[in-house]
Amino acid sequence: MKIVMLGAPGAGKGTQAKMIAEKYTIPHISTGDIFRANIKEGTPLGLEAKSYMDQGKLVPDELTVKILLDRVSKDDCKNGYVLDGFPRTIPQANVLKEALAKQNDKIDFAINVDVPDENIVRRMSGRRACVTCGATYHIEHVPPKTEGICDKCGSALILRDDDKPDTVLNRLKVYHDQTQPLIDFYNNEGILKEVDGTIDVKDVFESITKILG
C-alpha cells in the first residue's frame, strides 16, 4: 500500500500519516527527514543534495526522487509507505510516477485532507510555543493552565512567526499555486480520495481507514 498525503499546511496530514504508518506497519516517509539522514550519513546522494542546499538552492526534482527511491527500496518499505511532503508540484509527481513505472510500481492512494483556508488560519494562529522547552499548545484545543505560561517549565509562550495570520496566508497562497494542481493530477489518475479535515483527528483517521480497508 503506497500512499501520498495531500493537504494544505496545518491541515493535519502529517498527524494522519503517522497514524496510518502505525496502524498498517509501514514507514512514514518525510522528504525532510530523508535529506537530513542522507546528509548526516554522508551518502553520495546526501552530499549532492547538500551542495545545492549550501548555496540556498532547491534540490532538483530528479535528485529528490532518487533519494526517495533509495529510501523506498529498503526492506521496511516492502509492504508500502506513506509519503508526507512529496510530491509538492506536478513536475515532481510526474518524475515520481515515471520512476516508479520503471520498477513496475505505482502509488495506490492519494489522500487529500481537506480543510478550508479560514479554518487553517484560525487553527495555526491559535498555536503557542514555549520559548525555552519548545512545548506546544493551542489557545482553544490544548490551552496552558495559565494563559501565556508553559505548564512544563513556566517560561513564556509565543506565537511563532510561521503561525502568524499573514505568514499562514502566504504559505496557503504558495500551496494553492503549486500543490493544489496535484489534486487534479491524482484525480485524473483515479486514485484521489478526499476526507474532511475539519472534524476530530480520530474521526478523520476513521474516514481514512475506511478508504484503505
Catalytic positions: 13, 88, 127, 160, 171
Where helices occur in the chain by DSSP H, the ranges are: 13-24, 31-41, 44-54, 61-72, 90-102, 117-125, 165-174, 180-188, 201-212
Contact 180, 89 (CB under 8 A): no
Instruction: Specify the 3-state DSSP secondary structure of 195.
Output: strand
| CB contact burial 186-202 (16+ within 10 A = b; e otherwise) | beeeebbbbbebbeeee
Cis peptide before 87 (omega within 30 of 0): yes
- For residue 147, the one-letter residue type is E
Cell matching residue 104: 513496475
- For residue 144, the one-letter residue type is P
Q: Residue 82 pairs with which residues in a beta bridge?
A: 3, 28
Integer-rounded Cα radius of gyration of the chain:
18
